[in-house]
Amino acid sequence: MSTPETPGMPESAVGSENVVDRRGFLRGLAAASAVATVGDAVSPAFGQQASGAGTAKPAVRRYPIDEPVGMLYDATKCIGCKTCVVACHEANDLPPDTRRDPRYDAPLDLNDYTKNIIKLYRAEDGETTSFIKAQCMHCVDPACAAACMIGALQKREHGIVTWDPNRCIGCRYCQVACPYNVPKFEWDSATPKIVKCELCNHLLADGGQPACCRVCPTHAVIFGSGEELLAEAKRRIAEHPDRYEPKVYGEHDGGGTQVLYLSKKGIPFEKLGLPALSEEPVPERARTIQHSIYQGAIAPTVLYGLVLAGVWRSRRSGAKDSALEQEDSE
């Protein structure tokens, strides 16, 4: 039974709790992936088929993702209790950030101690407010993974972007690339790591879920399959157009993200710190340029051949010149 007045309660069951059990979403995905695997190169962005009337050109998915999982954060349900912040610390063995005030875990933003944070947006009128949960967006085509030269940051199982300490040299190109400014660096460490949300992938075996989703008292953030979450997000907008901004952030933004956002009506996503991005995946341009120059190493090889010819000819004429000089001096 739909009870719109009850805050925080899910209006329909996305699974019996808001966790889609593994079997459930595998089944659901089997149906979706049948469509997705057709025409892989120009396949629709995952979740595209649920959007109904295609309002925009589908983004090109670069990385085929098996059984993508994600989160859906509904800002209208969040009460800013920050239990997700505490749970994230505990699940990821992170120390509380007491650097600003020894009494509290009070970071100003994501940082080397904080993989998940709740921020508050307050409009100029002082009245309109919204909480926003910030963590890694687990993009469909992540800029950080495109940046990382040695594959330390990569999209791995279920599309979760994880960091490998055995490869990372700490060059921080991922920090330059990410449009959401997510990867953080341990600046004060002699052996620094890159720190960012990895969807608690160490807990997902045996039907687990990310710690933030597990503890949220209002189910403002829920975990599930990418397909189902997008469908749920759209359903909420359709059923309560007066409550929500008419857009699911992350459906196509920057090529799409696996963490989706719903905002309160009247609060555009940019105000919440989610940048306005085109549908083109963020790394597309740089990647295209790099590929077109270096594809198959053709251009470098041709250039090398040309230069080799030039050098050979120059040295030969140079040898002739110095031979002439020798003759002159004798």
Partner 1 sequence: MSHRSREIQPVGGPLWTRPFKILLTLAGLGFVLIVWRFAVGLGPSTGLSDGYPWGLWIAFDVVTGTALACGGYAVAILVYAFNQGRYHALVRPAILTSALGYTLAGLAIAIDVGRPWLIYRVPISVGKYNLNSALLEVALCVMAYVVVLWIELMPAFLEKWKESERHGLRQFAEKTLPVLDKALLFIIALGVLLPTMHQSSLGTVMLLAGPRLHPLWSSALVPLLFLISCIAMGYAVVVMESTLSSRVWGRKRETAMLATLSRAMIVVLSLFFLLRLVDVIWRGQLGLVLRFDVYAWAFLVEMGLTAVAIGMLLRKGRLHNAGYLFQAAMVIVLAGTVYRFSTYLLAFRPGSQWSYFPTVPEILVTVGLVASEVVVYIVLVKRFPILAGRAPVRQPA
Partner 2 sequence: MLPLHLLAETPDDLLDHHVDRRDFLKICTMAAAAVGLPASAAAQMADTLAHGGRPSVIWLSFQECTGCTESLLRTSHPGLAELILDLISLDYHEALMAPSGHLAEEARRQAMEKHAGKYILVTEGAIPTKDGGIYCKVGGQTAVEMTREAAEKAGAIIAIGSCASWGGIPSADPNPTGATGTPMVLEGKTVVTVPGCPANPYNFLGVALQFATFGTLPELDEKGRPLFAYGRTIHEHCPRRAHFDAGRFAEKFGDEGHRLGWCLYKLGCKGPETYANCSVQHFGEVVDAWPIGLGHPCFGCTEEKLAFRVPLHQTAVIERPTPPDTYPPIHADRGGVSPWATGVGGAVVGALAGAGYMASRKLGEEGSETGPEKDEEARDVDP
140 binding partner 1? (CB under 8 A): no
Beta strands, E only, the chain: 69-74, 117-122, 129-134, 153-155, 161-163, 184-185, 194-195, 221-225, 259-262
Q: What distance in Å separates the CA atoms of residue 48 and residue 46, rounded to the nearest whole number?
A: 5
**From the CB of 142, what's the least distance to partner 2, in Å?**
22
Instruction: Give 30 or 108: the residue with its C-beta nearer to partner 1.
Output: 108
Nearer to partner 2, 85 or 195 (CB): 85
Residues that bind partner 2 (CB under 8 A): 80, 82, 85-86, 96, 98, 101-109, 117-122, 131-132, 271-273, 321
**Would you say 17 or 321 has its CB closer to partner 2?**
321
168 binds, among partner 2, partner 1, none (CB under 5 to 8 A by kind): partner 1
For residue 130, what are the β-bridge partners? 121
3 state SS for 195-258: ECCCCCCCCCHHHCCCHHHHHCCCCCEEEEEHHHHHHHHHHHHHHCCCCECCCCECCCHHHCEC
Residue (57 or 122) nearer to partner 2, CB:
122
List the x/- string, 185-224, binding to partner 1 by CB under 8 A.
Answer: xxxxxxxx--------------------------------
Q: Choose among partner 1, partner 2, none what residue 104 binds, the Cβ cut-off being 5 to 8 Å by kind.
A: partner 2
169 binds partner 1 (CB under 8 A): yes
In angstroms, the Cα distances linking 20 to 8, 15, 87, 228 are 18, 5, 20, 9
Q: Which of 65, 117, 146, 212 binds partner 1 (CB under 8 A)?
A: 146
Which residue(s) pair with 195 in the sheet?
184
CB of 151 to partner 1, least distance (A): 5
Q: Which is nearer to partner 2, 102 or 126 (CB)?
A: 102
Asked if residue 8 lies in contact with residue 217, where contact means CB atoms within 8 angstroms, the answer is yes
**Spatial separation of the C-alpha atoms in residues 158 and 140, rounded to whole Å:** 11
Options 2, 120, 300, 324; binder of partner 1; rule CB under 8 A: 300
Q: Given the complex with partner 2, which of 101 and 127 has the nearer CB atom?
A: 101
Residue 31 contact partner, candidates partner 1, partner 2, none, CB within 5 to 8 A by sort of partner: none
Residue 143, contacted partner among partner 1, partner 2, none, CB below 5-8 A by kind? partner 1
> Please, where are the H alpha helices in 125-216?
143-147, 173-177, 211-215
Number of other residues whose CB lies within 10 A of the CB of residue 281: 25
Rounded to a whole number of angstroms, the minimum distance from the CB of residue 118 to partner 2 is 6
Question: What is the dihedral sign for C-alpha 164, 165, 168, 174?
Answer: positive
Contact between 98 and partner 1 by CB under 8 A: the answer reads: no
Cα–Cα distances in angstroms (integers) from residue 160 to residues 4, 207, 269, 330, in the given order = 33, 16, 23, 76
Q: Does 150 bind partner 1 (CB under 8 A)?
A: yes
Phi, psi angle pair for 224, to nearest 5°:
180, -165
Structure tokens at 325: 């000089």
286 binds partner 1 (CB under 8 A): yes
Contact, 211 vs 221, CB < 8 A? Answer: no
**Interface residues with partner 1 (CB under 8 A)?**
109-111, 143, 145-151, 166-173, 175-177, 179, 181, 184-192, 254, 275, 277-278, 282-283, 285-287, 289-291, 293-294, 300, 303-304, 307-308, 310-315, 317-318, 321, 325, 329
